[in-house]
């Protein structure tokens, strides 16, 4: 190889390595985001399973299908939340007490750090 061709070849390799480095960085970021979402969904799934499988002393543990069927057939008005505004308020209060945000900032996300002032403010406005 001539010196000029060798220099061009090294330059091409360097350019390809830079592209590969950029691709690797984007791939690592995508994997990180997927792992974080997977962890969040795993926690949310576990919390939903606990809500669905509230164990009653002396009764056998329910399967997932049985718990879903019971929730689907249950009367939403037989719960400990106040009947202030109506069914919409009841549903939001139930979601909040099950561990989910109902505020416009984080609606539907799992509450991982205790009570949310935005959600509580929203519930108090509805009363």
Which residues are known binding-site members? Answer: 101, 103, 116, 119
d(CA 108, CA 94): 12
Instruction: Quickly count: other Cβ atoms within 10 Å of residue 37's Cβ.
Output: 10
d(CA 100, CA 54): 17
C-alpha distances in Å from residue 55, one per residue of 46, 87, 110: 14, 26, 22
**Which residue bears the tokens 């929730």?**
71
**Which residue bears the tokens 């329910």?**
62
Which residues are known binding-site members for Zn(2+)? Answer: 101, 103, 116, 119
- Using N-to-C axis directions, what is the helix angle for 3-52 and 64-73, rounded to 10°? 60
């Amino acid at each position: 190889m001539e010196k000029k061709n060798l220099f061009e070849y090294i330059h091409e390799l360097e350019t390809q390595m830079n592209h590969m480095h950029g691709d690797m960085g984007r791939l690592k970021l995508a994997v990180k985001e997927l792992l974080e979402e997977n962890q969040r969904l795993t926690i949310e799934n576990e919390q939903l399973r606990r809500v669905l499988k509230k164990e009653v002393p002396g009764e056998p543990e329910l399967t997932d299908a049985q718990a879903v069927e019971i929730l689907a057939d249950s009367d939403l008005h037989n719960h400990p939340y106040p009947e202030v505004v109506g069914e919409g308020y009841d549903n939001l209060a139930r979601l909040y007490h099950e561990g989910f945000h109902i505020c416009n900032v984080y609606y539907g996300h799992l509450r991982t750090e205790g009570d949310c002032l935005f959600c509580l403010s929203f519930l108090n406005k509805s009363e």
